[in-house]
Amino acid sequence: MGSRSGPGDVGPRRARPAAPRRARRSDRPVWALPAPCPDPHTIVLVDALAAAQVLSEIGYLLRQDPDERFRAKAFSAAAWSLALQRPDLVSLQRTENLTSIEGVGEGIARVLSDLIKSGESRYLNRLREQFKQPARVDESDLDFSAYQGDVHSHTGWSDGRATMLEMAEGAQALGYAYLGITDHSPRITVVHGLNAERLVAQSREMAEVQKQMDGLTLLQGIEVDILEDGSLDLPDSVLEILDVVIASPHVKLRQEPGAMTERMLRAVSHPHVDVIGHPTGRRPGSREGASYDFEAVFKEAAKHEVALEIDCDPARMDLSPEMARLAYECGCSFAVDADAHAPAEFAYVPMALWMARRAGIPQDRILNFRPLDELTMAR
């Protein structure tokens, strides 16, 4: 993501309106749970962001069971509501009005009530035991409400289920400063990927949608395919003028590890790649991810300042917290994205933020916490 220029095949780069930085509050808390209260009748002062972290972890753990994907999304969406609205949970608990919070139904209200009364969530504790994922002592603190924007989303231009305007309005409603529109490239024909000519047409629509936005900057990008030899399926003359280039492995994930390693090393070394999307290609419950020399690839990505994605599409959850921890230790930065194909899927972001927190990744290693001016100068 940088100031790219060149004649290219798709015309000159558009001028971008400056995106205002959101106001920062010096007293903004980070996620941290209070100590459990021994008296079950005592009301504990639980901050909304602390409760959001609990709900997002519940959402992530539920997603380990394919049959719980809808409940997982509900918990994640409720986490967004808590982080964005900052409701007074104690007052709502006292008036038995927790369900007045957007996205909080009776079941989630019971979980919140338990948290407020005791300072811990028995439901979360049961899930941790069920999925053998105890709390870590080295989890990082992430200020949920400082999340600036998502750089990986899709529209009806490829396989998205919403128009660009609908996606932009959804991001704007969440207070995002920017949104990357990164539809697919031509390789996978079934998703109607964009070639150079269609990118030109998309840029014209983006200019019109941008005029309707207040405080949200749209970034034109592409999710380009990493081919079997590590090359990409669009030429440099196209990639160099886009705002964000995500390179993702989609096919031939069962290449033998040596060949897959060379493939990924070539991709992370490409001068126009900003992010490696869902780096293993895994689909929990249905497909193992690719096998390669992860440490070598992650170190090369760090060397070239290419971020690795924590993709919170519930079908992917890639990188996993364990793999993200390895990447962090190799010096990598990260993009925490919804890979949303419809506005409602922005609700998955809290699960990805919890995954990053679980991996112990500090906020300054995550691109999405950077304001637009820092993001576009990152490369």
Q: What percentage of the chain has pLDDT greater than the value 70?
A: 86
- Confidence (pLDDT) at 356: 94
Q: Does 48-130 match 144-375 in CATH topology? A: no
- Confidence (pLDDT) at 33: 37
Average pLDDT rounded to a whole number, residues 132-159: 88
CATH topology of domain 48-130: DNA polymerase; domain 1 (1.10.150)
Element (H, E) at 208: helix 196-210
CA dihedral 72, 182, 167, 163 (to 10 degrees): -120
Instruction: Tell me the three state secondary structure of residue 102.
Output: coil
Tens digits of residue pLDDT in 309-330: 999 877 788 999 999 999 999 9
Tens digits of residue pLDDT in 51-102: 988 998 898 889 888 889 889 889 988 988 898 788 999 999 999 999 999 9
Tens digits of residue pLDDT in 240-289: 999 999 999 998 899 999 999 999 999 999 999 999 999 998 876 667 78
Average pLDDT rounded to a whole number, residues 194-211: 98
366 bridge partner residues: 334
**Residue 175 structure tokens:** 């207070």
- Confidence (pLDDT) at 284: 67
Region label for 243, one of left (φ > 0), alpha (ψ between -120 and 50) or beta (otherwise): alpha
Residue ranges per structural domain of the chain:
48-130, 144-375
Intra-chain end-to-end CA distance of the chain, in Å: 6
Q: Cα separation of 248 and 285, whole Å?
A: 20
- Confidence (pLDDT) at 2: 53
Tell me which of 42 and 263 has the higher pLDDT: 263
- State the pTM of this model: 0.78
- What CATH code is assigned to 144-375? 3.20.20.140
